[in-house]
Amino acid sequence: MADILLFHHALGLTPGVASLADTLIRNGHTVTTPDLFEGRMFATIDEGVAHAREIGFDEIMARGERAASSLPQDLVYMGLSLGVLPAQKLAQTRAGARGAVFFYSCVPAEEFGGPWPAGVPLQVHGAEQDPIFMEEGDVDAARAIVAGAPDAELFLYPSTAHYFADSTQTGFDAASASLAVDRVLAFLERI
């Protein structure tokens, strides 16, 4: 079973994020879900991203590093959209990463000293009709990492919603979410 550090998306540490954590816990994993927004939650992605800009993306990543500092090194780093920033930075720069799972986002490995570290398995999950994932460079970053890392996978789902796997959000796609969670659970079993 894996120790997972799960970073929330731009809406904050919402019931949907807690539901994903609960699913992982029910399957035998240990999950830590730090609150990068210190209790704040937002109704829209734009509001959450504006708040993140106010805090500063460097501070968001620093909060992620502080959350990891008291945990073992052999973590699986999981990020949901905005939460991919600290998850990806830690997976690439903190020794001992066991794996990484990114939902709805991915940044170029070069942002954190790239290339993707050898021996750190990765899954990236995105919607093939999500304008954020498909048009803002995320899918390109994921494809570049997958092309250079033999244990990295990119999964695209037939959905239009950014948070397609979050059961509490508009655009939730139950079939795609179920398949994504199954893939994550299988990934966690084999790493």
* pLDDT at position 149: 96
pLDDT tens digits, residue range 38-60?
999 999 999 999 999 999 999 99
Give the separation between CA 131 and CA 45, rounded to whole angstroms: 13
Locate the DSSP E strands across 3-116.
3-7, 30-32, 76-80, 99-103
Give the separation between CA 185 and CA 139, rounded to whole angstroms: 22
Q: Beta partners for 32?
A: 5
- Counting as low any pLDDT under 70, the low residues of the chain are none
pTM of the complete model:
0.97
* pLDDT at position 182: 98
* pLDDT at position 114: 86
Q: Beta partners for 103?
A: 80, 125
- Tokens found for residue 189: 């079993």
Cβ pair 112, 40 in contact under 8 A = no
Give domain 3-190's CATH architecture: 3-Layer(aba) Sandwich (3.40)
